[in-house]
Chain A
Amino acid sequence: MRVAQLIVLGLGTGAFLLIATLGFALIRRVEGFLNIAHAELMSVAAFVTWFLNSSLGWHFALAALVAITVTALIALVIARLIYDPIKHLGPPILLITSVGVAFLLHGITSAVIGVGIRSFEIPRFDAWTVGGLLITPYRIALLALAAVVSVGLALFLNKTRTGKSIRAIAINRELAGSRGINVTRATRATWLAAGMLAGLGGVALGVLGTLTTDIAFQQILVILAVAIVAGLGSLYGVIAAAFIVAIAMDLSLLILPGGYRPVIAFAIVIVVLLVRPQGVAGSREDVMA
């Protein structure tokens, strides 16, 4: 029974991780580097929502919508001002720069917000009992949201003109450009999409629990774990990986204190790197040195 309960808990965590990792994986896929600042964008979205909702008294849905839009725009501005001019220096320099961006965003949010624990002004529901298992309405909503986001992203990338051009530049930027695809436009669309996903992840984080300015840093670790288990650069792998990592972390509560959840995520990463470094959905040639 306890196991079943923890798996149900893990499904909710997995839904959050799925939303949080998709944007990160999208950037890795299209721009070719690991954007460590992704989690700090989540934190920005969470605190913009908190400010509009708790301090200014806006309705939660409106606050979240504005926050997600703002985050998407910030992601785009950062990409254009900071990442684009150094793209020719290669992925390692972009990766280290993204750490600088993470520091910058973290410094600004913690200077503005300060220390302390914050939460959204949203109604608190009692957990429902379904077949003897406790589940909160917010976690069910989050699962539904994760499903909608995943299907939506797949449809966007496969069915729309912009989505198809994003896939094209992910595979070969120069060839796509010479075939008449507007590379600049597709890149901007990618950053807006990744920013929106980060925004959504940040809002989800605030709905599931309380917020501190250090929260993003704790999330990036698990996001990295999910991205590696999925196979770096893979998007569909993220769906499976998010639930694998989440359920493993939540099941670990059976035998370990809660503080060890990141240790579990890391242990999974090591096992994956040893046994199947390409992750659940990557190809082996892409990962070897």
Chain B
Amino acid sequence: MNWGQLAITVVTLVSILGVVTLVLNMQYGQAGMINFGVVAYVAAGAYTYVLLTQPPPSEASLDQYAIGLDLPVWVGFIGAALAGLAFAALTGWPTLRLRGEYLALTTFAFAEVFHSFIVNEQRFANGTRGLVGVPRPYREELAFIDYDILLAGVALLFLAIVYFIFERMVRSPYGRALEALRDDELALVTSGKRSTRFRMEIFLFTAPFAAMAGAFYIWYTTLAIPDLFTAEMTFIVWIALILGGEGSNRGALIGITLVILFEELIRAIPFETIRAAQIAASLEVAALGVLLIVFLRWQPFAALTRTRRRVLRS
């Protein structure tokens, strides 16, 4: 096994999915909102980036997607962020004035619907086939360095920036209001704050970061296929958050690192038959389920990452 390559993969994936975990931590850990469709915001960003930066489909190829604007990379990134914002508005607006479980259900359902849209609509992005071999930006210009290492570095920088922004937010008076929103909404409302507005703000503010992570994910995989954006991604990020102890940005990063390491190590095991690989993949899903159950119940690492606070909500 090539340990160097494995390390680069882990750093890149941890950086990209780490941003998504941080977003989830801001939404759930800080503000108490359950987003079960976080993959939809990642996918929205990824697909927007691809459609904005890809060349239009050529006549000769089998491509069926209708839009390809061939715009610069930075436009793709801004577009991705705006797509995340639009999706957050669409899902947040009807549900955030309602009780928490409605957001959980709507985001979950919305992610599934968006997924089935990508799968079924050939003209959007080639349906199940997707777009393969999406070019990595400045690949030729940067031929003199190892692109994988560069990408890992850029993704890590992106993670650091997002971490810095979110940490500043958490430590600000605004962040304390968010904590109140989670821990004692009544007290927040009594002190003259509008809880619905806080929820909407944090939901709209954080979603674009998940969408931008989606654009990075395209750089890494060079694939825009529906199979990469399934509910499994949502739940992997959730497991990471619970593992690290929700409510702590540092914990979120520890959690995602452990989960990605676990996954990549399993993936590195060679299997003799397709059936064996399929069983292993299924058991990995089962193992993730067990992790989620066990860590929610005992929260073993929560004590490491932050002082344990009241998790009870009446």
Contact = CB atoms under 8 A, between A and B. Distances in A.
Interface of A: 33-34, 82, 85-86, 88-93, 95-97, 99-108, 110-111, 114-115, 217, 221, 224-225, 227-228, 232, 257, 259-260, 262-263, 265-266, 269-270, 273-274, 277, 286-289
Query: Main secondary structure on chain B at its contact with chain A?
Result: helix
A266 B119 CA distance: 16
Contacts of A82: 293
Contacts of A34: 101, 104-105
A219 to B, nearest CB: 11
B312 A88 contact: yes
A260 to B, nearest CB: 6
Interface in B129-155: none
Across chains A and B, which 9 residue pairs bring their CB atoms closest together, nearest first?
A107-B286, A103-B289, A100-B292, A104-B289, A259-B120, A111-B282, A107-B285, A100-B293, A110-B282
Contacts of A92: 32, 34, 100-101, 104, 313
A232 B101 contact: yes
B307 interface: no
Contact of A259 (B104, B116, B284, B311): B116
Interface residues of B, number: 54
A100 B289 CA distance: 4
B98 interface: yes
B202 to A, nearest CB: 14
B314 interface: yes
B228 interface: no
B99 A114 contact: no
Contacts of B119: 259
12 contacts: A92-B32, A92-B100, A96-B242, A97-B292, A99-B235, A106-B286, A111-B282, A111-B286, A263-B116, A266-B109, A270-B94, A273-B94
Nearest to A83: B293
Interface string B69-106: 00000000000000000000000001111111110111
B195 interface: yes
A280 B288 CA distance: 37
Contacts of B95: 273
Given A99-B292, A225-B109, A287-B99, A86 B297 contact: yes
A113 to B, nearest CB: 9
B290 interface: yes
Contacts of B100: 92, 289
B110 interface: yes
Given A92-B34, A97-B293, A273-B98, A224 B109 contact: yes
